[in-house]
């Protein structure tokens, strides 16, 4: 019995245009890659994608397969091997964090520092900057038994120092 | 609910089993095999921890039959107890809210789905075939929509709200 190949993380950044995902995933399929989790979004018009892939091909072969994308597509591509995570995060209770207000330096740092102090683990996060408004949305796992009102109070204090609005609400999740 | 015979506990099938994507056939609620299925759904649901509903598709049968029981659930308001409906359709669905739901047939994921919190459903009771109209709200409304979707060959993944709306399922669910 052989060990499964290590997971490779392929990160692609660059100017957006139609067809990048198709080209990237065709190239990965071409080296026998099996895609696992991935995420892709546009950050102010910049294409940004991370995809986890397992393949019997070597990292060098995967890098070669990515070369046309990097050369003709004007994209920056990074391929690296990831060790299996030491522990699967995801324990605890999920909460949705919403922040919005006038843009200024330090909003994300101040708010996420509060969560970190309470052992909150961010499992999904997105921020957007409009012409004047800054918006942050995140999903946070708080350990079982967390004093949620204390977290909310600390967030409110940090938010008032920043002049932004913040809310932290539990996510309903039900087995049907 | 008319009394049903004792049911058997059936194996719950999991996606991507094609039966979960198969719209159910209309059934005759007075037919012995439909009555037996109604009893089996309730028996299977009763032994599944946290399970508040089960559709025929989830035990491998593409028929328009499902069971629901939200008794004691903290998010339930109106509660009709334990029941089975055949050939059910949604008559009206209002006050949509987004919630996160999981399904016994999709063990790895939960998904964010907008579901009506006020619901009117029409369907037939097993055994008698009597048509009933059920008005409900809150959690029972969500459960009914989830099960009726199953009988239409849909799972919650067909309704999730966007690319960030599918989540790894927490282990204790
Ligand atoms: Zn289900």
What gap in Å lies between CA A33 and CA A55, rounded to an integer?
Answer: 4
User: A93-175: same fold as A7-82?
Assistant: yes
Task: Assess whether pLDDT exceeds 60 at residue A151.
Answer: yes
In degrees, rounded to 5, the angle at the alpha carbon of residue A154 between the alpha carbons of residues A151 and A155 is 85
Of B52, B100, B139, the CB nearest to A173: B100
Question: Using an 8 Å Cβ cutoff, are B111 and B100 in contact?
Answer: yes
Model pTM score:
0.90
pLDDT tens for each residue of B90-119: 999 999 999 999 999 999 999 999 999 999
Give chain B positions within 8 Å (CB) of A90: 168, 170-171
Q: Which residue has the higher pLDDT, A132 or B27?
A: B27
Q: Where are the domains of chain A?
A: 7-82, 93-175
What are the phi and psi torsion angles at B119 (to 5°)? -145, 140
**Annotated catalytic residue B147:** yes
Question: Using an 8 Å Cβ cutoff, are A98 and A105 in contact?
Answer: no
- Cβ–Cβ of B104/A175 closer than 8 Å? yes
pLDDT tens for each residue of A21-70: 999 999 999 999 999 999 999 999 999 999 999 999 999 999 999 999 98
Task: Assess whether pLDDT exceeds 90 at residue A4.
Answer: no
Domain B18-168 has CATH 3.30.70.20: no
ipTM for the predicted complex comes to 0.85
Specify burial of residue A61 (Cβ count, 10 A radius: 0-12, 13-18, 19+). Answer: middle
Count how many pairs of residues, chain A against chain B, have C-beta atoms within 8 Å.
50
What gap in Å lies between CA A147 and CA B139, rounded to an integer?
Answer: 26
Task: Assess whether pLDDT exceeds 50 at residue A113.
Answer: yes
Region A57-85: what's the mean pLDDT? Answer: 91
Top residue of B12, B20, B99, B115 to mutate, by most chain A CBs within 10 Å, is B99
Ligand 1 midpoint to CA B149 (Å): 8
Query: By CA distance, what is A90's nearest residue in B?
Result: B170
The CATH homologous superfamily to which domain A93-175 belongs is ACT domain (3.30.70.260)
- The whole-number pLDDT of residue A165 equals 96
pLDDT tens for each residue of B128-155: 999 999 999 999 999 999 999 999 999 9
- The whole-number pLDDT of residue B119 equals 98
Of B50, B168, B171, the CB nearest to A175: B50
Region A3-24: what's the mean pLDDT? Answer: 92
- The whole-number pLDDT of residue B173 equals 43
Q: Alpha carbon A140 to chain centroid distance?
A: 12
pLDDT tens for each residue of B52-63: 999 999 999 999
Region A167-171: what's the mean pLDDT? Answer: 95
Q: Where are the domains of chain B?
A: 18-168
Rg (CA), chain A: 20
Q: In the CATH scheme, what architecture does the domain A7-82 have?
A: 2-Layer Sandwich (3.30)
Question: Using an 8 Å Cβ cutoff, are A168 and B134 in contact?
Answer: no
E-strand ranges in chain B read: 53-55, 65-68, 83-103, 106-124, 131-137, 166-168
CA neighbor of A89 nearest in space, from A143, A152, A153, A36: A143
- The whole-number pLDDT of residue A88 equals 65
């Amino acid at each position: 019995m052989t060990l499964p190949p290590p997971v490779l993380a392929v990160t692609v950044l660059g100017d957006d245009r139609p067809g990048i995902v198709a080209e990237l995933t065709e190239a990965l399929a071409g080296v026998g890659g099996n895609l696992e989790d991935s995420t892709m979004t546009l950050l102010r018009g910049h294409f940004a994608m991370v995809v986890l892939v397992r393949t019997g091909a070597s990292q060098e072969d995967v890098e070669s397969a990515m070369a046309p994308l990097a050369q003709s597509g004007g994209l920056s591509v990074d391929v690296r091997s990831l060790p299996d995570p030491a522990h699967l995060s995801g324990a605890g209770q999920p909460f949705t964090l919403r922040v919005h207000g006038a843009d200024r330096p330090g909003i994300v740092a101040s708010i996420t520092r509060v969560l970190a102090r309470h052992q909150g683990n961010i499992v999904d996060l997105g921020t957007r900057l409009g012409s004047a408004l800054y918006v942050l949305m995140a999903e946070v796992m708080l350990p079982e038994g967390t004093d949620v009102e204390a977290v909310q109070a600390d967030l409110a204090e940090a938010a008032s120092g920043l002049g932004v609005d913040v809310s932290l609400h539990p996510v309903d999740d039900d087995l049907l | 609910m008319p009394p049903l015979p004792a049911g058997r506990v059936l194996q719950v099938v999991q996606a991507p089993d094609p039966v979960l994507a198969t719209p159910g056939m209309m059934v005759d609620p007075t037919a012995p095999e439909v009555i037996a299925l109604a009893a089996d759904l309730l028996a299977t649901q009763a032994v599944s921890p946290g399970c508040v509903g089960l559709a025929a598709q989830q035990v491998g049968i593409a028929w328009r039959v499902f069971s629901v029981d939200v008794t004691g659930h903290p998010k339930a308001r109106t509660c009709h107890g334990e029941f089975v409906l055949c050939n059910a359709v949604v008559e009206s669905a209002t006050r949509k809210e987004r919630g996160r739901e999981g399904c016994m047939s999709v063990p790895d994921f939960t998904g964010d789905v907008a579901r009506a919190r006020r619901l009117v459903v029409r369907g037939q009771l097993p055994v008698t075939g009597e048509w009933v109209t059920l008005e409900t709200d809150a959690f029972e409304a969500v459960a009914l929509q989830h099960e009726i979707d199953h009988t239409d060959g849909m799972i919650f993944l067909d309704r999730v709200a966007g690319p960030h709306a599918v989540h790894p399922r927490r282990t204790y669910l």
